[in-house]
Structure 1
Amino acid sequence: MSLTFEYDNLAEQSAKMRVIGIGGAGGNAINRMIDSELKGVDFLAVNTDLQALNMSKAKNKIQIGKKLTKGLGAGANPEVGQKAIEEDKESVEAALQEVDMVFITGGMGGGTGTGAAPTVAEIAKELGALTVAIVTKPFQFEGVKRMKRAMEGIQRLREKVDTLIVIPNQMLFSIVPKGT
């Protein structure tokens, strides 16, 4: 099955779109999009975790926080994710030059996605891109602390994007067949 973005006129066809997967959940999301053969979009994986980044199917990848995390993840700490993106802000700025639309995907509640997504959105907006974030909230079984981190991250992200779509992971239980 192949998915293709179609455009109403040639002027829109020249719009450059980039989907950025931030952290583990964001990386998984863009891998699924790539597997579905989504056309007309560039993909960028951004992560602190070098091993996860190497598993990404995206052609474009940026490891953030190399000095800070030494290639490991952010340990579910959004402050580490935030500091990591600050360490490599210029690389993200370079990757978003001349991009008209940015779609950010990630999971809220962990470290890299929660901490880095607001700064990535801010960079995209400063460069003039229409910026949309599509993020997930944790499952209930992941606990109150993770949900609290997620809600704080969502609030920070909401202030930096043009549009925010939040998908509760808990909803997956109602749409995915039991035993899956």
Structure 2
Amino acid sequence: MNRRQFNQTLVALGAIATLPALAYPRDVAAIPELEPAERMIRIGLVSVGGADGNTVATIAQGLSYVTRTIAIDTDSDALISAGADRTVLIGRGIDKPQHPRQAFEMARRQAHDIEAAIGDLDLVFIVAGMYGAAGKGVAPVVADVARRKRITTLGIAITPAEWQGAQSSPRVRYAVQEFQRAGVTVFPINSHHMTMPLGHGGRGVSQNVKSLFASVSHAIRQHNIVGIDLNDLQLVLNPGGIAAMGFGSADGAGRAENATQQAIAHPLLGTKRLRTATGVLVNIRGKAAGLMLGEFKTVARAIRSYLPFDSGCLYSTSVDDSIGDKLIVGILASVPAAANLAMI
């Protein structure tokens, strides 16, 4: 079922009132048909400067639709252990930069190497550790190369918790802003918000990156009941802006409501950010035989009740038989930078 047919079904059932005006206009017939994709979208997962102890191979483990993993760093030893499909060494590996500007200039001189690694991809996720000079300085160059190649790009900025060094460090905030200026939608993940045992915070970071990747890739790559394309993604997730994310899962009676409330209450989202969102992408995943229109309506109503009236919103429903009887809800929201400062 394509999006126009799905909307017509919702209109017939009286459900269109629960959906956002910008995403689903009253004149449903005016929504253009989506042309079938001529080829599968190629998705890359890129790590820059470390990811809170996670290698790109660790993050990619268990994920579907990863076309290529790429590790980019100024540390040759880190690249050896990265387990990536491709690696890009910035500099000689022995002259590690001490300042982000130095790393930035080194990366600019090797922009052609970065382009060779990512240039044939359609969508890239850049996971940048904002701990040292490499992540802060190299990530904006990678993002700029992707922008010039017209590659849709989502950035994940992993920022240090207070005990790891100045949660509100001006240098970290500046680095995230430079990442944004390269035209990337940036999802900040601060280790402070990961409720994992001491020494295992990296697992929380990894799981959230996995959930973000899964929500987007399932919505775009799979044969969905209701899917989205890269233009939709850029429409609701403002390039150059800050975004928040939340995920939830539940089974049994009331699973749609329970999974949605979990996603809304997620430490990387919350009602405060959702109430200020300018654009939202929602992905709903479940077993093929178990997805019900009533559950879709429950999810849509719950999320819409928190959103500003004029915010744009897109919904995607995809089949995932690997999750059993669970329903998984992912919410990605573009928010004003001021509403997300606590995440940096």
Q: Aligned equivalents of 2:179 and 2:199: distance in 1? A: 34
Change (3 A) 1:86 1:26: farther
* 8 A contact 2:55–2:82 mirrored in 1: no
Cα deviations by residue, 1:13-71 (Å, 9 ceiling, x for unpaired): 6111111100122782513223x2323211100000001111111120010122xxx43
Alignment correspondent of 1:148: 170
Residue 28 (1) aligns with residue 54 (2) = yes
TM, length-normalised to structure 2: 0.44
Structure 1, gaps ≥5 residues long? 1-8
Say which one has the larger Rg: 2
Alignment correspondent of 1:43: 69
Alignment correspondent of 2:160: 138
Count of residue correspondences: 165
Taking the TM superposition and a 5 Å limit, the aligned residue runs for 1:1-180 are 11=37, 14-25=40-51, 28-34=54-60, 36-41=61-66, 42-66=68-92, 70-75=93-98, 77-144=99-166, 147-172=169-194, 175-177=195-197
Change (3 A) 1:10 1:38: farther
Change (3 A) 1:13 1:65: same
* 8 A contact 2:160–2:166 mirrored in 1: no
**Larger RCO of the pair (alpha carbons < 8 Å, separation 6+):** 1
TM, length-normalised to structure 1: 0.81
Change (3 A) 1:27 1:12: farther
Alignment correspondent of 1:6: none
| Identical-pair percentage | 27
Change (3 A) 1:71 1:21: same
Change (3 A) 1:14 1:113: same
Change (3 A) 1:84 1:26: farther
SS in 2 for 1:40: coil
> Root-mean-square deviation (CA), in Å?
2.4
* 8 A contact 1:109–1:151 mirrored in 2: no
Answer 1 or 2: which has greater helix percent: 1
* 8 A contact 2:48–2:126 mirrored in 1: yes
Change (3 A) 1:126 1:39: same
* 8 A contact 2:159–2:188 mirrored in 1: yes
Change (3 A) 1:80 1:28: farther
Q: Aligned equivalents of 1:27 and 1:171: distance in 2? A: 16
The amino acid of 2:132's aligned partner reads G
Structure 2, gaps ≥5 residues long? 1-34, 201-344
